[in-house]
Structure 1
Amino acid sequence: PLLATRRAAEAAECGTTQNLPIEGPYFLGEPRPTDRTGTGLVLRGWVRDAVSCEPVAGATLVRWHANRNGIYEDYFRARSATDAEGRYRFETIVPGKYAGLARHIHFALSAPGYQGLITQWQIDDDEEPAAEVAFDFVLSPL
């Protein structure tokens, strides 16, 4: 019972990732597999199960964003998978503003047995992000 109670508490802390189903006009399907499309910004984190908060190994992450001038280019589209511990890591640039919107990076996540997730990491206009940023995702089981 103690282990079950601890796992329930961990799952409650795990929370959920807001689903922002905005692919925009620049989601073009499956990009090439790579974890680096530039330098200056490292995004890293975990993908976890919404019920158990356990890591989700082998989850596919697709990300896309604009270049520094706010123009979407194929180069800044990438696909990667979480490792055995549910971790991911991307290295890229800080994107520029696009069409007056806050700077942002789109993500689409999928994993067998889980609902797909589309969301964004948004950067406040008045701040520059740290060189390395932790951004975790939570997937809901089917």
Structure 2
Amino acid sequence: MRALPLCLLAATLALSGCSLLHSKSENTTPVEPAKTQVSTTKTTKPTQPKPRPVKVYDNAEDLVGKPFRDLGEVTGSVCQATEQDSPPNLATARKRMQIKASTMKANAVLLHQCQVVTDVQGCYQQAVCKGSALNVSKQ
């Protein structure tokens, strides 16, 4: 019973192979092979645009005399889920805050505070940075 599908497959291949050999006519002229256009673009996943650089101001006095527009508050956080996980990093929380500000088309952040807190549900410890996203005009 299992041999029947194999025999049918072999017969189909044999018949189709023979029909291809006899399908050429004798009075055909040689045809140049078609030129194929080779694509040089890579077929990779679309990537998100690179975030714009966001400057961090630690002191509001640094903005005196510079025209700017406040775009809203931004936060960045890193969670240490269990005691065995690596401790949360303030630098990473700060970088995440900068990335969020970049998505808001900000070019600067006025840092309000960065701290490690322990009373957060789902985290053993959490590093949090808060600030204001700003669009500082260049003079």
Q: Which has the higher contact order (CA 8 A, sep 6+)?
A: 1
**If the length of structure 1 is used for normalisation, what is the TM-score?**
0.25
More helix by share: 2
Of structures 1 and 2, the larger Rg is shown by 2
Q: TM (normalized to structure 2)?
A: 0.25
